[in-house]
Amino acid sequence: MIGKENIQDDLIVIAGDNLFDFDLNKIVDFFKEVNKNVIGLYDIKDINKSRNFGILKIDNKNKIVSFEEKPNNPKSTLVSTAIYLYSRDELKKIGKYMKTSLPKEGPGYLIPYFMESQDVYGFVFHGQWYDIGSKETYEEVNCK
């Protein structure tokens, strides 16, 4: 899609099952500051719920130091929100990734791929965030 549409600018990708009240300008400003790929993060503060998400750890400069997709034993409650900012210089790597045999069920699988060759950063959002990808979660949020 990136090649087909000839996208040659920085790219923000937001999964359609996100419901949030974040100011996206803050993550865009952080992206411009670090000049690297950035993933939006949120602390769900529930280790049991965190098993359903990509779990990340960041250092004191917000560089991602570990990533696990839906682990059985999560090491943190800091989850990927499926909000990604990709540098235009890195878009070709997405095309290369798509030609590999690595998992492609979601954009979260790109994180470790990018981490092999460069620093990737996380931006921790504060406010309300819900993954409404299931009927149960959607109904739960809709009733609030």
pLDDT band of 56, cuts 50, 70, 90: very high
* Element containing residue 85 per DSSP (H, E): strand 78-86
Determine the average pLDDT of the residues in 88-109: 79
Residue found by looking up tokens 């990709």 in the block: 86
What is the number of structural domains in the chain?
A: 1
CA angle 14, 109, 17 (to 5 degrees): 30
**pTM for this entry:** 0.86
Q: Taking the mean position of all CA atoms in its chain, how far away is CA 77? A: 14
Range of the domain at 105: 11-142
14, β-bridge pairs: 83
* Cα–Cα nearest to 78, from 110, 37, 44: 44
21 in a domain, yes or no?
yes
Determine the average pLDDT of the residues in 17-29: 93
- CATH number of the domain encompassing residue 66: 3.90.550.10
